[in-house]
Amino acid sequence: MLTEKDFIATTYSSLESANFEWSAPSNIALVKYWGKKEQVSSIPGEKSEQIPANPSISFTLNQCKTITKLGVLKKSDTKDFSFDLLFEGKPKEDFKPKIQKFFERIEVYCPYLKEYHFTIDTQNTFPHSSGIASSASGMAALAVSIMSLEKAITPSLSDDYFNAKTSFLARLGSGSACRSIKGEVVIWGNHAKTANSSDLFGVAFSEVHEYFKNFQDTILLVDKGEKQVSSTVGHDLMHNHPYAEQRFGQAHENLTAIKEVLTSGNIAAFIKIVESEALTLHAMMMTSMPYFILMKPNTLEIINKIWNYRNETQIPVCFTLDAGANVHVLYPSTVKEKVMQFIQNELVVYCQNGQYICDQIGTGAKSN
């Protein structure tokens, strides 16, 4: 099993300049990660960051992605990190502190960073401020671009190590970003019944039934505003939460159950687990101290419409939620035409400016 020490680059060469371009998608968790734990690193003097309090599993998306161009230029001064950040081709100063913090976190594993000046030019395929979290796709795209530099100066890196370290680095930028690197379905977090599972990086779950292979995710943009409570604050509120331990135990049980469901193709069981997980996530928010609600009235309207539609038609459509008001409508591609008609006829009215995004399962980061 790979440890933090294994991800420290020790022997590498140098280059004068290079350019890399990658795209990395967002992902939507089926079993949710909510809460972080503190852990002593295997590296003396270091503290493990972004360690999940419970394991999670997600669908990797396809259309909602970040495209990042990384320009690399050798410099003489190696005292500080040096980078320019562009968003859609224009300087984006307010993003820079997050990148600075990311570089500080990963420097011990990528000690070559201060040898180069980086030009990071990034853009999203989904609308900015759409209410879709771009941190997962953004940090995944940056991490895989940096690992391309490491691959260039350390050609002996295996593909498995490349993918594991990329996921490891992405996690240090945004926890869920580690699930956006490789695989249609990804598990992150130690789980007794999943071989090679780790708190440090995501692992692909490959035993997926054909029924789920081309699963659709239509994202209904209920509220495109900034959340009143950030995910970081929300995670922290799981410390001393009255139901935290029960929740963490439930996540382990649901992960075991949904793995069997994804392998067997049992859609009825899939719907029960996924919808329960979505509501449990928001129940944790509503019962923390201080408590908060991220769902909006239209979120609940949509959920009830989906339940009524499913009961009346027996069409296997369900919902999940992230830490926000938007609704992810999940369904197999075999019923796409009927579900899209339902969405357009009955659900779009609850979306802000009638906006929604059609997506489906993807396979992870890609070199452009």
- 35 plus 161 within the same structural domain: yes
Closest C-alpha among 228, 72, 66, 242 to residue 149: 72
* Cα distance between residue 61 and residue 25, in whole Å: 6
- Whole-number mean pLDDT of the chain? 95
**261-287 pLDDT tens trace:** 999 999 999 999 999 999 999 999 999
Concatenating the DSSP letter of every residue in 95-128 gives GHHHHHHHHHHHTTT-TTGGGEEEEEEEEESS-T
Same domain? For 15 and 110 the reply is yes
Asked if 233 and 183 sit in the same domain, the reply is no
Q: Which helix (H) or strand (E) holds 271?
A: helix 267-286
pLDDT in tens, 38-75: 887 888 777 789 999 999 999 999 999 999 999 999 99
Q: How do beta strands 366-367 and 47-52 pair?
A: unpaired
Residue 101: alpha-carbon gap to chain centroid: 19
Residue 267 tokens read as 């859609």
d(CA 224, CA 218): 15
- 264 and 174 in a single domain? The answer is no
Q: Could you report how far apart the first and last alpha carbons of the chain are, in Å?
A: 31
Produce one character per residue of 287-305: b if its CB has 16 or more CB atoms within 10 Å, e if not: ebeeeeebbbebbebbbeb
How far is the C-alpha of 220 from the C-alpha of 324, rounded, in Å?
11
Residue 206: other Cβ atoms inside 10 A: 9
pLDDT of residue 129: 60
- What pLDDT score was predicted for residue 41? 80
| Residue 291 forms part of a structural domain | yes
Last residue of a domain, one of 175, 207, 239: 207
* Per-residue model confidence (pLDDT) at position 147: 98
**Whether 49 contacts 178, CB under 8 Å:** no
> What's the CA gap between 8 and 25, in Å, rounded?
26
Q: Are the CB atoms for 71 and 149 separated by under 8 Å?
A: no
Pairing of strands 116-124, 82-87: parallel
Percent of residues, the chain, with pLDDT higher than 70: 99
Q: How far apart are CA 21 and CA 146, in angstroms?
A: 10
Tell me, yes or no, whether 256 and 356 share the same domain: yes
Whether 341 and 233 map to the same domain: the answer is yes
Position 119 pLDDT exceeds 80:
yes
Residue 56 sits in the same domain as residue 185: yes
Model confidence at 97, pLDDT cuts 50, 70, 90, reads: very high
Select from 177, 207, 237 the last residue of a domain.
Answer: 207
Q: What is the mean pLDDT of residues 359-365?
A: 97
The answer to whether position 51 is within a domain reads yes
Question: Is the domain of 224 the same as that of 195?
Answer: no
Please indicate, yes or no, whether residues 98 and 202 belong to a single structural domain of this protein.
yes
Same-domain status, 249 and 200: no
Q: Is the pLDDT of residue 154 over 90?
A: yes
pLDDT recorded at residue 219: 96
Compute the distance between CA of residue 218 and CA of residue 50 in angstroms, rounded to an integer: 29
pLDDT of residue 96: 94
Q: How confident is the model at residue 228 (pLDDT cuts 50, 70, 90)?
A: confident
The total of structural domains in the chain comes to 2
Does residue 122 contact residue 68 with C-beta atoms inside 8 Å? yes
Asked whether residue 156 falls in the same domain as residue 90, the answer is yes
* pLDDT at residue 130 tops 80: no
Q: Express each pLDDT in 306-336 by its tens digit.
A: 999 999 999 999 999 999 999 999 999 999 9
Give the C-alpha separation, 338 to 56, whole Å: 30
Non-local (6+) Cβ contacts of 108 within 8 A are 8, 43, 46
Q: What is the CATH number of the domain that holds 37?
A: 3.30.230.10
- Domain enclosing residue 323, as ranges: 214-360
pLDDT (0 to 100) of residue 83: 97
Domain end among 181, 207, 233: 207
* 366 within a domain of the structure (yes/no): no
Looking at residue 157, what DSSP letter applies?
-
**CATH number of the domain that 286 lies in?**
3.30.70.890
**What confidence score (pLDDT) does residue 40 get?**
75
Do 274 and 181 fall within a single domain?
A: no
